[in-house]
Amino acid sequence: MKYLVIVESPTKARTISKFLGKDYNIKFSMGHVMDLPKSNMGIDIEHNFRPLYQVIVDKKKLIAELKTLAKSAERIILATDPDREGEAIASHIADVLGSKSKLQRIAFHEITESAVKEALQNPREIDTNLVNAQTARRVLDRLVGYELSPLLWKKVRRGLSAGRVQSVALRLIIQREREIEKFAKENYFTVQALLSNKQGKAEFELLEINNEKIEAKEKFELYDGEYNVTKTIIDNQKKAEEIVNDLKTKAFTVADVSQKQTKRSPAPPFTTSTLQQDASRRFGFSGKRTMSLAQKLYEEGFITYHRTDSVAISSTAITQFRNYVEREYGSSYLPEKQRIFSAKQKNAQEAHEGIRPTKVNESQLIIERQVGKDYGRLYDLIWRRAVASQMAEAIIESTSVMVNTTRGSENTYKLRASGSVLVFDGFLRLNPQALKDTQLPKFLAKEQLNLQDIRADAHETLPPPRYNEASIIATLEEKGIGRPSTYASIISTLVERSYVERIERKFVPTPIGISVNDFLVANFSTIDDIPFTASMEEELDDVASGKKEWVEMMNDFYTPFEKAIGDAEDSDRVKIATEETDEKCPECGASLVIRHGKFGKFFSCSTFPDCKFTKAYVEETNLLCPKDGGKIIVRKTRKGRKFYGCSNYPKCDFAAWKLEDIKDKSNPKTEKEKPKSETSKLVIN
């Protein structure tokens, strides 16, 4: 054995071993070999925030084996992942092995034979700037967590914890909930007229009255930016009816018919962020699930490295994709020139390419057979997006028909019908979007149209939507909060701590989360905020590029943070809200309330601690089981994922992931009353 190659995982080791001969011994570290201690902060603040890393206890046997192998190896090759964390793992392995003269670092962004062998021909030193950036993040997060969490124990409730980036994500969700609560809905009406000629009929929407547009826009300033609401000036039923009746007296004449062709370009390959967003929208995958699936696909050699904010594609891959498109669909589906993409995000880095398949001929079916269905689904999403990025634009023909009114009262009206037809599908042939042809009849300028029907539709302005997995990730990325590779852990941490819960795929804050947030905002308003957190990410980027020293960055942060900690010691205690119910305590007769604990909701006596009665909380829905008629209730898997099951379990084993799946089973019996969780109100107790 001449060469010892060390990677992180058994899967990665197995894949690489396919490409290298008997001179290479491939071993894995199972992730980090050193970490900060669990029993204390592990940061020597007085000596330049020196992290007191320790060898992980479970890794001692593995490290002893690596040391033995290292002694007999001519060269030790550190082939950990090509990002800051991978660089830190390589650095720690080098520290525990010693043998610095033998050590080499290689990096590759896809686990293919050509990429691995090219990396072996171009070894480099460990990048200390990347290691320092990872160290700074680790120290920063440890300081915040260890110094804020004890405060939460004192001021809110024992067992709580806080994180630097998670706290801002929590604030986003809670601010949105409060913006929804205070949003005043407004009623408005739109008017549609069904007009026809000899060729057919189409629906026209009222645009103007007496040359004044009826559309009105209102702008709201939210915590995360602007929210625009579109409505009309028709704000009551009486006004709408008057307009409808007046239009019935009118003659309708085509004023203008315009047609134009527009081109739609394909999106670039996925980044870490956009992959998580699309997987959430398409499949309902959590960010954590998406990253787990992508990790396996990368380690098996099916896709390029999945922790990236780059959208570039290598020239070799572009040629591969273009040849495939021409072979499968013809030259008309190829753009004249290769498409070159560049990242829009500031300081985009970490990997040289966007996420793409390593071999264009490997299909979803091949991946499903080798590793499983969900892996195949995610692979297909990545494959289609990447290959389609090198296809021709789609061509859409849009038609707009404007109609004016004459005759009748002095009021004049303008209406419009719009249609669109896909002329050439281009990249949409491979990566379809939610497009639907709307074919209008042929209308001619100045021709008279017949009124077939007319109506006024009632609407109300909608508040800004709650965040879901995709939208919170998009906001975190837009605001520069955290790194794309951390989004999954940020969201899963909030759910696991019961600070938020998922209801119909939307994030809703719990009373615990609200209390934690309110305490942090009251006492750490500058730290627990978007601009500060984003600026810290920029500074970490500067450390990674060698523009700033990480100890200097930590000093700038810690001095005001330490003062804020001291000031918060004198702040008032925050009480956690409870939810009232109509139930009475069987032991003392007082009202029962819903409280939130470490494992979620539970019923408790409102007089606690005088009366300590508790019982399990069962969240009901307004549906009955299609199998035996029992109540459909919310249940949880061992890992905490919510699903819907029958209250008569284990006698009835009916279960579903989504309420829609139950409604689709022709559920004949539905309870009219809402579940208690929807009708309860918050009180401070």
**Interval 581-611: pLDDT, tens:** 888 999 998 988 888 776 677 888 988 888 9
Q: Measure the CA–CA gap between 133 and 553, rounded to whole angstroms.
A: 10
pTM of the model: 0.85
Question: What per-residue confidence (pLDDT) applies to 1?
Answer: 62
Which residues are annotated as catalytic?
Answer: 305
Cis peptide before 609 (omega within 30 of 0): yes
Question: 107 and 150 in contact (C-beta within 8 Å)?
Answer: no
Question: What per-residue confidence (pLDDT) applies to 305?
Answer: 95
Measuring CA to CA, which residue among 548, 542, 573 is closest to residue 684? 573
- Check if 187-265+394-460 and 272-388 are the same fold: no
Dihedral pair phi/psi, residue 682, rounded to 5°: -85, 135
Helix (H) or strand (E) holding 65: helix 60-72
DSSP codes, 228-239: EEEEES--SHHH
Question: What per-residue confidence (pLDDT) applies to 668?
Answer: 44
Which residue type sits at 566?
G
Digit-coded pLDDT (tens) for 658-684: 777 776 654 444 433 333 333 233 333
**Pairing assessment for the beta strands 631-636 and 619-624 based on DSSP bridges:** antiparallel
Question: What per-residue confidence (pLDDT) applies to 525?
Answer: 86
Measuring CA to CA, which residue among 77, 79, 30, 28 is closest to residue 57? 30
Which residue type sits at 254?
V
**What DSSP designation does 82 have?**
S
Classify domain 272-388 at the CATH class level: mainly alpha
Question: What per-residue confidence (pLDDT) applies to 205?
Answer: 97
Digit-coded pLDDT (tens) for 171-190: 999 999 999 999 999 999 99
**pLDDT for residue 107 is more than 60:** yes
Digit-coded pLDDT (tens) for 329-386: 999 999 999 999 887 655 555 457 999 999 999 999 999 999 999 999 999 999 999 9
Digit-coded pLDDT (tens) for 508-563: 999 999 999 999 999 998 888 999 999 999 999 999 999 999 999 999 999 999 99
Dihedral sign, CA of 8, 9, 11, 13?
positive
Question: What per-residue confidence (pLDDT) applies to 455?
Answer: 96
Question: What per-residue confidence (pLDDT) applies to 666?
Answer: 41
Q: What is the mean pLDDT of the chain?
A: 90
**pLDDT for residue 417 is more than 90:** yes
Q: Measure the CA–CA gap between 519 and 530, rounded to whole angstroms.
A: 17
93 or 608: which leads in pLDDT: 93
Dihedral pair phi/psi, residue 428, rounded to 5°: -65, -20
Token code pair at residue 92: 């720690």
Question: What per-residue confidence (pLDDT) applies to 412?
Answer: 94
Which residue type sits at 155?
K
Q: For residue 618, with 0-12 CB atoms within 10 Å meaning exposed, 13-18 middle and 19 or more buried, which class applies? A: middle
Question: What per-residue confidence (pLDDT) applies to 344?
Answer: 66
Question: What per-residue confidence (pLDDT) applies to 671?
Answer: 39
Which CATH number is 136-182+469-568 given?
A: 1.10.460.10
Domain ranges in the chain are: 3-126, 136-182+469-568, 187-265+394-460, 272-388, 577-684
Question: Which distant-in-sequence residues (6+ apart) come within 8 Å of 327 by Cβ?
Answer: none
How many residues in total does the chain contain?
A: 685
**Pairing assessment for the beta strands 394-406 and 413-424 based on DSSP bridges:** antiparallel
C-alpha Rg value of the chain to the nearest Å: 30
Question: What per-residue confidence (pLDDT) applies to 619?
Answer: 79
Digit-coded pLDDT (tens) for 14-66: 999 999 989 999 999 999 999 999 889 999 999 999 999 999 999 999 999 99
Question: What per-residue confidence (pLDDT) applies to 223?
Answer: 94
The interaxial angle of helices 164-182 and 469-479, nearest 10 deg, is 120
SS3 assignment, position 305: coil
Question: What per-residue confidence (pLDDT) applies to 582?
Answer: 85
The CATH number, out of the four listed (2.70.20.10, 3.40.50.150, 2.30.30.60, 3.30.565.10), of the domain defined by the range 187-265+394-460: 2.70.20.10
In our burial notation (b when 16+ CB lie closer than 10 A, e otherwise), range 195-213 reads: bebeeebbbbebbbbeeee
The CATH number, out of the four listed (3.90.550.10, 3.40.50.140, 3.40.50.150, 1.20.1090.10), of the domain defined by the range 3-126: 3.40.50.140
Q: Measure the CA–CA gap between 54 and 639, rounded to whole angstroms.
A: 29
**pLDDT for residue 286 is more than 70:** yes
pLDDT band of 635, cuts 50, 70, 90: confident
For 99-160, what is the HEC assignment?
CHHHEEECCCCECCHHHHHHHHHCCECCCHHHHHHHHHHHHHHHHHHHHHHHHHHHHCCCCC
pLDDT band of 621, cuts 50, 70, 90: confident
Token code pair at residue 89: 């793992």
pLDDT band of 656, cuts 50, 70, 90: confident
Dihedral pair phi/psi, residue 495, rounded to 5°: -70, -45
**pLDDT for residue 617 is more than 50:** yes
Question: What per-residue confidence (pLDDT) applies to 638?
Answer: 65
Question: 574 and 155 in contact (C-beta within 8 Å)?
Answer: yes
Question: Which distant-in-sequence residues (6+ apart) come within 8 Å of 227 by Cβ?
Answer: 179, 219, 220, 221, 464
